[in-house]
């Protein structure tokens, strides 16, 4: 859910339910790599609350667009990590085919 201003689209807060530090810190890291982002941070309101609040301030572009771009970038990074891991497993099994590795 987005909590933003209709008058200034460059600043917005997003509330993600059923998430924790794992996703929030990954999105924060990805957003901070974007030169269009002037501020990004996240908080978890309470440890027993499965919710994360992410705040974004940009150089002028809509924060919603930049959040979508960051999520797309993060998905590409995850895809690359998965493909690299899968290939490493295949390579390991080929190099150790005389061993019984499951």
Contact 60, 95 (CB under 8 A): no
Task: With cut-offs at 50, 70 and 90, classify the pLDDT of residue 12.
Answer: very high
Global pTM value: 0.81
pLDDT reading at 71 higher than 90: yes
Cα–Cα dist 81/42, whole Å: 24
* Contact assessment for residue 32 and residue 66, using Cβ atoms and an 8 Å cutoff: no
Tally of CB atoms within 10 A around 41:
14
Domains and CATH numbers, the chain: 11-100 (3.30.1360.10)
Q: For residue range 30-59, what is the model confidence (pLDDT) as tens digits?
A: 999 999 999 999 999 998 888 999 999 999
11 pLDDT more than 70: yes
Question: Contact, 11 vs 56, CB < 8 A?
Answer: yes
Neighbours of 60 (CB within 10 A): 9
- The percentage of residues in the chain with a pLDDT greater than 90, rounded to a whole number, is 76
């Amino acid at each position: 859910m987005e909590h933003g201003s209709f008058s200034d689209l460059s600043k917005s807060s997003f509330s993600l339910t059923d998430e924790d530090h794992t996703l929030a810190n990954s999105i924060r890291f990805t957003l901070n790599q974007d030169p269009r982002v002037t501020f990004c941070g996240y908080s978890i309101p309470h440890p027993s609350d499965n919710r994360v609040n992410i705040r974004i301030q940009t150089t002028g572009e809509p924060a919603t667009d930049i959040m979508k771009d960051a999520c797309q970038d993060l998905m590409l990074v995850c895809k690359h990590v998965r493909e690299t891991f899968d290939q490493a497993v295949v390579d390991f099994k080929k190099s150790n085919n005389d061993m019984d590795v499951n």
